[in-house]
Amino acid sequence: MDTEILISFIIATATLALSPGPDNVFVLIQSMTYGKKQGMAIVCGLISGCIIHTSLVAFGLSTFIKSNAELLLVLKLLGAGYMLYLAYRVFTSPAVINTNTPTKSKSLGALFKQGFIMNVINPKVSIFFMAFFPAFLYSETQSLVVQFYTLGFLFMTTSFLIFSMLVFFSSSVGSTLKSNTRFGVVLKWAQITVFLGIAIFILITQ
């Protein structure tokens, strides 16, 4: 087991979780507007949805990789290309984070369900997992299914901690985003740097 790869995976996941996107911005808005309990309900729903995507990747990719060893190289190349595509999308998007989207308060159960459904029905999550996970396979002896589930668990745990911190500090984060117009630019280029860094890591890792 290569612990350095796992540490790199956790760092990359934490950085991605901090990058502004529809999920964490929605969590931020709910927390700022209706309270931390509502924000945490969304977080729990979003993270629970990752179990579905992890299972799809674990069993789907494991079967194909076992039947074709060269497929792993193809997946890594596609993964690096997808990261470059994400970097380009961020580069061409405006450096503005909208925290003023109107939302309606719901029950905690309804918010959990909404977060779960938001995650499960989003095909981009599965595509991201398929591009992201194969580059961080950390063992030559452990089964691929176990490795994918381990990565999925680390992804969910790290994302949960980051999102929970976002909920806890939602008031401060919201005030910063509204008062500092340059903050969006900083986050934009931070995202680009992260995606480029992951693409390079995928290409150079053995």
Helix orientation angle between 144-168 and 36-67, rounded to the nearest 10 degrees: 160
Greatest mean pLDDT range, 74-78, 152-156, 194-198: 152-156
177 vs 161, residue with greater confidence: 161
How many folded domains does the chain comprise?
Answer: 1
Pairwise CA distance, residues 150 & 131, whole Å: 16
Spatial CA neighbour of 57 closest among 141, 123, 139, 140: 123
Does the pLDDT at position 156 exceed 60?
yes
Per-residue pLDDT tens over the stretch 47-75: 999 999 899 888 877 677 666 667 667 77
Give 121's pLDDT tier (boundaries 50, 70, 90). Answer: confident
Type of residue numbered 91: F
Per-residue pLDDT tens over the stretch 174-199: 666 656 666 667 667 776 787 787 77
157 vs 64, residue with greater confidence: 157
End-to-end Cα separation, the chain, in angstroms: 14
pLDDT mean over 114-137? 83
Pairwise CA distance, residues 171 & 174, whole Å: 5
Per-residue pLDDT tens over the stretch 4-46: 889 989 988 888 888 766 677 778 777 877 788 988 999 999 9
* Domain assignment of residue 69, given as a range: 3-204
182 vs 99, residue with greater confidence: 182
148 vs 92, residue with greater confidence: 148
User: What is the structure's pLDDT at 12?
Assistant: 85
pLDDT mean over 128-148? 87
